[in-house]
Structure 1
Amino acid sequence: MTEASILVIDDNKSVLSALEILLQFEYKSVQTLFNPNQISSFANMEKIDIVLLDMNFSAGVNTGNEGLYWLNEIKKKSPLTSVIMMTAYGAVDLAVKALKQGASDFVLKPWNNERLLTTVKSAYELRKSKQEIHKLKKQESNLKQVINEDKNFIIGNSRALTSVLNLVRKVAKTDVNVLITGENGTGKELIARELHRLSSRKDEVFIGVDMGSIAENLFESELFGHIKGSFTDAKEDRAGKFEAAHQGSLFLDEMGNLSLQMQAKLLSAIQNKSIVRVGSNKAVNVDIRLVCATNCNLEQMVVDGLFREDLLYRINTIHIEVPPLREREGDILILADFFLKRFANKYDKQGLRINNLAEEKLMEYSWPGNVRELQHTMERAVILSEGNVLKPTDFLLHAKPSQSFENGPATLDEMEQQMIFKALDQNDGNYSAAADQLGISRQTLYNKLKKKNK
């Protein structure tokens, strides 16, 4: 006996009895309704697998309109239920109309028992298929939400960052290709994810690819996929990143690391909006929003013959330059506080704060590693902290060439401050040793730092 629930709706009690007798030996549950008006109040319609529905309920009426009306009512309550229409008045156009409105099949009265049972069985298989498809679509939707979940945020309110985000909001509404440039650690992927989040594709997947990590011999397989047996390790068909990102966004990072040969293959896929899996000769159309990123000067690479000019034009419809942290005045402390709270919670060190001198040290540093360096610096400081207050000595920052004074004039106070912090770094935060190195007393060192903080 099949584990299925069947509902028969007909105003002829003889029909109801005959179908109930026929079906009860085949299916676990068979229910009947004499009046179709009971459909509106029928409980748990979504649990009914198959409905056998008469098309005419009023005497002398054989248009089938009543059946079509109740078909729509059943579909409103339970879209996945299979509905088989029954009528004594066969007409091809009526059958086609019923199928277009969602019926799974059509049965003429009087019916052939064997043929009716086959029709019901097919309708049940259709119901199971619909349920499976619905389940898979729900799982796919949940998976996309997990993949797209971004636990990082764009933090800051500086003028430089606000200008970038304004441009992102304008561009996100379109499907144009975007090139994001900026130094390492500035948050180029976050900008790409923000473009996706604000776009019409936000409910689809965001796929990120580090182009610099792909070996040249695996480039086509990774991006375009392959078919089983196309090379030694191709043990099964596999979709590439382009297919995986279909209808969503594809983010290609580190574009400056591509060889000219890889650039040519990528250009072809972008131009044709289709890919061919390795080992296949069948083109697969792809619909993606392309976002690329690099920390290289692609224009200079074009001049040097290292990057294709036509590829640059293809990926560079809109150019977004992400500013380095040193140009985001005011954002350093906002970000530091954000990371402090995150890592204090992660490592169970609640109540941590940064004192004024430490804040000054963070503000003075040029952050050559940008936001990523600040994040790692804050995590290290939280992990190694021994009290509730983070002091300058808790932040071991290393002077970089960009901190020299060759790039412009500096005041005596600024030079003195740099020397003090440098001495503290070189002496691992030991104030006495730093004071000895500078040729001043420990108290004088404290006084100078306090003076600077006022």
Structure 2
Amino acid sequence: MKKTGRILVVDDDTDVLNAARLYLKQHVEKVDVETNPKLIPALLKEYDYDTVLLDMNFTEDVSSGEEGFTWLEKILEIDPAMAVVLITAYGDVEKAVQAVKMGASDFVLKPWQNEKLLATVTSAMNLSQSKRDSQRLKTQNAVLKADMEQPYQNIIGESRAMEQVFQTIEKVAKTDANVLITGENGTGKELVARALHRRSNRSENVFISVDMGALPESLFESELFGHEKGAFTDAKESRAGRFEIANGGTLFLDEIGNIPLQLQPKLLSALQTHEIRRIGSNKTSKINIRLVCATNENLGEMVKNQDFRQDLLYRINTIEVKLPPLRERMEDIPLLIEHFLKKYRTKYKKEIHGITEQATDHLKEYHWPGNIRELEHAVERAVIMTDEDELQKGDFLLTSRPENNDQLPVAGLNLEEVEKTVIRKAMDKHEGNISHAADELGLTRASLYRRLEKYGL
């Protein structure tokens, strides 16, 4: 049977350390020993232990156990999931009870019986693993709960363009190949990522989504790789990153073009080595994820402009799935209208039986710069506002693009002034809603934030 587990034994008696190491190494993968308890914090930061066997008394002629209790507290402060077994030659029931109340997993007397020691250590290692699994599941469930609260619809379409997308999904889903989904904002890139996961061999495991466009640059590394308590000012507790949470499942990085250039080597390394390291830790953890990325950016142009690493692009782009804009699949509009109409008449409890042919033709003639997301918003608004039992052409207030430069409300053709004015109008129109304004402008949220800051809007 393969030996597993890593144990740290801390005692000022070298005979005790040698005895523990010689016996336990026959049954566990690694046994480290140390006489100086002051080195415990450094050892815990450097190595990933399952259990600590800790002497209660390090000062000669002292039998109170206070030193052991002090180091027990420090160990659990560093790693709340650690299983600590206290050992002493002066054991009694009161110390045992106090130690367990403080968080120790067990208590043994020395000289010990080897069989008893092994049983205690094995139980402690199992407890430690259970605690870590529980922490991971707690974090995972919190992420999944937030993720499930996001709106989700099935992929709708019968057009030739969408048939090609479906064919690619079916070919790629069962593999573990990294996939890059490209397309304009609002084309349904996350829906394709979810479809890939549902049809994959990882479908029973988690799907974790990260919107890289919505993250402040300062949080990218912590969000992806996690951090240890005290790693930076606001790190009040240790936290698993999305790579750890997604272990065994699929990790979806939306708007991958927003990842800072200085962080790209770390992402590349994680994908190459299948290992990650939390901020503030020297320990690496193995990860097993299927990576799916999405972007509305031209990553090839970003590589030419040295804003995106070419080797990272090769790594994430084993297979590319290109999503067509809505204007290239107009034959799908009736199906999409039917889907959204059913959704929102139920939500708003409206007796609406359909949409007029004139209204459908009107929607087919529109350019749809916001793609499917814009169409969904248009149908939702029409459902809310209509007083009829059928949606009418007049129920849809669509934003027409200017036909010529004379319609631009600016003097001259200074590009920055034009951009500033267009952004201001989009923000006014959507009452300051960044997501909706960004969709209409064809920008990511991060790109719009940068422009708002640039122009002082």
TM-score interval for Structure 1 and Structure 2 normalised by the shorter chain: 0.5 to 0.7
8 A Cα contact 2:144 2:208, kept in partner? no
State how far apart, in whole Å, the 2-side matches of 1:247 and 1:253 are.
19
Question: Superposed, which structure 2 residues align to 1:281-300 within 5 Å?
Answer: 281-300=282-301
State how far apart, in whole Å, the 2-side matches of 1:181 and 1:145 are.
24
Deviation of the 1:144 alpha carbon: 9.6
Which region of structure 1 is more displaced relative to structure 2, 242-251 or 360-369? 360-369
State how far apart, in whole Å, the 1-side matches of 2:145 and 2:198 are.
13
Cα distance change of structure 1 residues 381 and 316 upon mapping to structure 2, 3 Å threshold: same
8 A Cα contact 1:144 1:203, kept in partner? no
Q: Find the residue that maps to 1:368 and give its secondary structure.
A: coil
Q: Which amino acid aligns with 2:398?
A: L
Q: Find the residue that maps to 2:208 and give its secondary structure.
A: strand
What RMSD, in angstroms, separates the aligned Cα atoms of the two structures? Answer: 3.1
8 A Cα contact 1:147 1:206, kept in partner? no
Equivalent residue, structure 2, for 1:334:
335
Equivalent residue, structure 1, for 2:28:
none
State how far apart, in whole Å, the 1-side matches of 2:317 and 2:174 are.
17
Equivalent residue, structure 1, for 2:256:
255
The structure, 1 or 2, with the larger RCO (C-alpha pairs under 8 Å, 6+ apart) is: 2
CA displacement 1:150-205 (0-9 Å, x = unmatched) = 84110111111111011011100100100000000000000000000000000111
Identity level (%): 55
Cα distance change of structure 1 residues 401 and 247 upon mapping to structure 2, 3 Å threshold: farther
State how far apart, in whole Å, the 1-side matches of 2:205 and 2:145 are.
11
Deviation of the 1:143 alpha carbon: 8.5
Equivalent residue, structure 1, for 2:446:
none
Equivalent residue, structure 1, for 2:207:
206
State how far apart, in whole Å, the 1-side matches of 2:134 and 2:266 are.
33
TM-score of the two chains, using structure 1 as the length reference: 0.57
Q: Which amino acid aligns with 1:287?
A: N
Equivalent residue, structure 1, for 2:183:
182
State how far apart, in whole Å, the 2-side matches of 1:222 and 1:335 are.
34
TM-score of the two chains, using structure 2 as the length reference: 0.56
8 A Cα contact 1:368 1:400, kept in partner? no
State how far apart, in whole Å, the 2-side matches of 1:263 and 1:178 are.
17
Q: Find the residue that maps to 1:290 and give its secondary structure.
A: strand
Question: Superposed, which structure 2 residues align to 1:357-372 within 5 Å?
Answer: 357-372=358-373
Q: Find the residue that maps to 1:221 and give its secondary structure.
A: helix
Q: Which amino acid aligns with 2:385?
A: L
Deviation of the 1:303 alpha carbon: 1.0
Structure showing greater Rg? 1
8 A Cα contact 2:205 2:248, kept in partner? yes
8 A Cα contact 2:223 2:241, kept in partner? yes
8 A Cα contact 2:220 2:259, kept in partner? no
Q: Find the residue that maps to 1:349 and give its secondary structure.
A: coil
State how far apart, in whole Å, the 2-side matches of 1:384 and 1:282 are.
57
1:268 matched to 2:236? The reply is: no
8 A Cα contact 1:185 1:369, kept in partner? yes
State how far apart, in whole Å, the 2-side matches of 1:214 and 1:145 are.
18
Cα distance change of structure 1 residues 256 and 403 upon mapping to structure 2, 3 Å threshold: farther
Unpaired runs of 5+ in structure 2? 1-115, 406-457
8 A Cα contact 1:148 1:205, kept in partner? no
CA displacement 1:116-148 (0-9 Å, x = unmatched) = xx9xxx9xx99x98xx99x979x8899898678
Deviation of the 1:352 alpha carbon: 3.4
Deviation of the 1:401 alpha carbon: 5.5
8 A Cα contact 1:333 1:362, kept in partner? no
Q: Find the residue that maps to 2:239 and give its secondary structure.
A: coil
Deviation of the 1:261 alpha carbon: 0.5
Equivalent residue, structure 2, for 1:395:
396
Equivalent residue, structure 2, for 1:353:
354
